[in-house]
Structure 1
Amino acid sequence: MSSSIFRPGFLLVGLVATAGFTLVASAVRAQVKPNDGLVAGEVAPKLVAQQFKFTEGPAVDKAGNVYFTDQPNDKIWKYSTDGKLSVFLEKSGRANGLYFDKQGNLLACADEQNQLWSIAPDGKVTVLLQDVQGHRFNGPNDLWIHPTSQAIYFTDPYYQRDYWTRKAPDPNIGGQKLYYLPKGQKQPQVADDQLQQPNGIIGTPDGRQLYVADIKANKTYRYQIGTDGKLTNRQLFVEQGSDGMTIDNQGNVYLTGKGVTIYNSAGQKIQHIPVPAEWTGNVCFGGKDRKTLFITASESVFVLPMQVKGVQ
């Protein structure tokens, strides 16, 4: 998830005003070359809308609808499977990273007050976490929920926000860490305290491995997840950091930043998707068949048809 606000320096054409937001009829020019059967043909990401200030945190529900944040404007939006945009939640706690639990609640890294939220389908908010050992978090950023244990893994980097009154992190929290919260517990446990600035996070659908980006170190690591939820065997996955990330049904990992870069499970780069924005914040798979790559990029959101499917 992102550290600051970027503005894309590109020109798009074919704008059509519809229901209070801007749609784009034509695809952007930068095309993606097919590679290993990932992208569905020689196409380019299609702009859905660019009415936002900075988009982030896409997450998909059971039906395939994608929810994403416009953090500076303090809103969570919904992009439905029929291509319609609507506001899901105003006053979202400056939500950043999002993820759905098995009960259909939308969990959010709400860093206005440095909290983790659970948002029910009707929009009712429950605060899950607001401190650790009596100290304020740096600013929860991105999260992933284990498919079996339902433990919550989340990153807590420090990025100064203009809506905060504080100007420095709590020195008593002791760094920028990766945490996990076992189901039913009220205090998180430290999963890794040896990262410079942990950011994007995603796990495998079997619940055995976790990928975490250290964006400041420009590295992404892979961990083994034990039956007790603890992480072991941290290994360097690739020499590239990432903002948000996702994974497909072939085990490929999608990293963001300058466009979307795809690596196979062995850490080999197999594809790069150009995105016409200064910064690509995050990505997930949506749609009824989970074959639509949904991309949040600066002031815009894009979609790209894929041959592979998402697993989250």
Structure 2
Amino acid sequence: MPENPLYEIHDPRFRALIVESAALEELHSGCRWAEGPVWFDDAQQLLWSDIPNQRMLRWTPDGHVSVYRYPSNFSNGHTRDRQGRLVSCEHGTRRVTRTEPDGTVTVLADSFEGKRLNSPNDVVVRSDGSIWFTDPTYGILSDYEGYKTAPELAARNVYRLDPASGELVAVVGDFLQPNGLAFSPDENKLYVADSGASHDETAPRHIRVFEVEQGGTLKNGRVFCHIDKGIPDGLRVDVDGNVWSSAADGVHCFAPDGTLIGKILVSQTVANLTFGGPRRNRLFITATQSLYSIYVTVSGASRP
């Protein structure tokens, strides 16, 4: 069988993760900047953000696409909490929110130490219920993905939120622009992208990894990998601990040791991705104007 031009295979380990005959399917187009995909297995739907158009979209397996929320407050990244509720990062309101079962929206965080957050970007929930999110300045740099204004905070932090007590803690504060984040399958590691090179060619374009201590503090941060095309934005981890990252030329897959083992090539710049479908082995990819999907042989790390 000839090589599938969709893939770059840098290491034999990548072959075990891909379906070499699989096609990259474009499920929808017409977005301005597609971001933040989140899969709902119980509802058999995928939600994602079209940030500049101020809307969240819904895709269902029958191919139907509809508007889930408008206006969306320039929402970006999304996840689900341990009860299955939608948790969202909103650039426009500079807050993290939760959508309740009846559709009402609860504000989880919008300030730190008396100052407004920058523009929460991406979010994950740990099995203990804590909510972790990044807070770069992308949503306040211009009026395209939010509202242009000066930041009130001196740093672009990664935060941990205890939803029971409401306590918000800055767990890392030395990123230029923290972006996508994900836990290892055992939740002992946290991966965080730094996409600072989006506005500074000399800035980092790497993913860092931290050890997560009991109590939720981080230690021993180090560079896990570098992105060789564009910048890392959203990322996900599969059940075997491989890290799948967005990049300018597609999706890059890194082994747990940080080795680039392969790429899925996409014609548009990839912003984010998530595993979904009944077996969580369908990779949904948001890339500039479009939503894509492709089947792989590995499942995403377990989430509600």
Fold match by TM threshold 0.5 = yes
Secondary structure at the counterpart of residue 41 of structure 1: coil
**1:95 maps to which residue?**
75
Per the normalisation by structure 1, the TM-score is: 0.85
Once residues 269 and 291 of structure 1 are traced to their aligned partners in structure 2, the CA distance between those partners, rounded to angstroms, is 20
Q: Determine if contact 2:91/2:120 at 8 Å carries over to the other structure.
A: yes
**1:54 maps to which residue?**
33
Compared CA separation, residues 310 and 272, structure 1 to 2 (3 A): same
Once residues 98 and 89 of structure 1 are traced to their aligned partners in structure 2, the CA distance between those partners, rounded to angstroms, is 13
Percent pairwise identity:
30
Q: Determine if contact 2:82/2:125 at 8 Å carries over to the other structure.
A: no
**2:133 maps to which residue?**
154
Q: Determine if contact 2:247/2:270 at 8 Å carries over to the other structure.
A: yes
Q: Determine if contact 2:41/2:277 at 8 Å carries over to the other structure.
A: no
In the alignment, structure 1 residue 133 sits paired with structure 2 residue 124: no
Secondary structure at the counterpart of residue 72 of structure 1: coil
**1:116 maps to which residue?**
96
User: Structure 2: which 5+ residue stretches go unaligned?
Assistant: 197-203
Specify the code of the residue in structure 2 equivalent to 1:284.
T
In the alignment, structure 1 residue 255 sits paired with structure 2 residue 245: yes
Once residues 198 and 234 of structure 1 are traced to their aligned partners in structure 2, the CA distance between those partners, rounded to angstroms, is 14
Residues 2-53 of structure 1: CA deviation (Å, up to 9, x unaligned):
xxxxxxxxxxxxxxxxxxxxxxxxxxx9522673221212334111111211
**2:266 maps to which residue?**
275
Q: Determine if contact 2:92/2:147 at 8 Å carries over to the other structure.
A: no
In the alignment, structure 1 residue 169 sits paired with structure 2 residue 169: no
Specify the code of the residue in structure 2 equivalent to 1:146.
R
Secondary structure at the counterpart of residue 15 of structure 2: coil
**1:220 maps to which residue?**
207
Secondary structure at the counterpart of residue 186 of structure 2: coil
Q: Determine if contact 2:29/2:290 at 8 Å carries over to the other structure.
A: yes
Matches within 5 A, 1:10-89: 30-32=5-7, 35-63=14-42, 65-89=45-69
284, 289, 302: which is aligned to 2:292?
Answer: 302
Once residues 5 and 53 of structure 2 are traced to their aligned partners in structure 1, the CA distance between those partners, rounded to angstroms, is 29
262, 265, 270: which is aligned to 2:256?
Answer: 265
* Deviation for aligned residue 1:181: 0.8
User: Structure 1: which 5+ residue stretches go unaligned?
Assistant: 1-28
**1:238 maps to which residue?**
225
Once residues 123 and 90 of structure 1 are traced to their aligned partners in structure 2, the CA distance between those partners, rounded to angstroms, is 13
* Deviation for aligned residue 1:195: 1.2
In the alignment, structure 1 residue 285 sits paired with structure 2 residue 275: yes
Once residues 30 and 49 of structure 1 are traced to their aligned partners in structure 2, the CA distance between those partners, rounded to angstroms, is 22
Specify the code of the residue in structure 2 equivalent to 1:257.
A
Specify the code of the residue in structure 2 equivalent to 1:294.
F
Once residues 236 and 73 of structure 1 are traced to their aligned partners in structure 2, the CA distance between those partners, rounded to angstroms, is 34
Q: Determine if contact 1:54/1:70 at 8 Å carries over to the other structure.
A: yes
Secondary structure at the counterpart of residue 295 of structure 1: strand
* Deviation for aligned residue 1:80: 2.3
Specify the code of the residue in structure 2 equivalent to 1:41.
E
Q: Determine if contact 1:202/1:212 at 8 Å carries over to the other structure.
A: yes
RMSD: 1.8
Compared CA separation, residues 41 and 161, structure 1 to 2 (3 A): same
193, 196, 201: which is aligned to 2:181?
Answer: 201
Once residues 268 and 73 of structure 1 are traced to their aligned partners in structure 2, the CA distance between those partners, rounded to angstroms, is 37
Once residues 104 and 28 of structure 2 are traced to their aligned partners in structure 1, the CA distance between those partners, rounded to angstroms, is 27
Q: Determine if contact 1:69/1:77 at 8 Å carries over to the other structure.
A: yes
Per the normalisation by structure 2, the TM-score is: 0.87
* Deviation for aligned residue 1:86: 2.3
* Deviation for aligned residue 1:232: 1.1
Equivalent residues, number: 280
Once residues 281 and 101 of structure 1 are traced to their aligned partners in structure 2, the CA distance between those partners, rounded to angstroms, is 22
Q: Determine if contact 1:203/1:210 at 8 Å carries over to the other structure.
A: yes
Compared CA separation, residues 157 and 71, structure 1 to 2 (3 A): same
Specify the code of the residue in structure 2 equivalent to 1:32.
Y
65, 83, 105: which is aligned to 2:85?
Answer: 105
Q: Determine if contact 1:142/1:155 at 8 Å carries over to the other structure.
A: yes
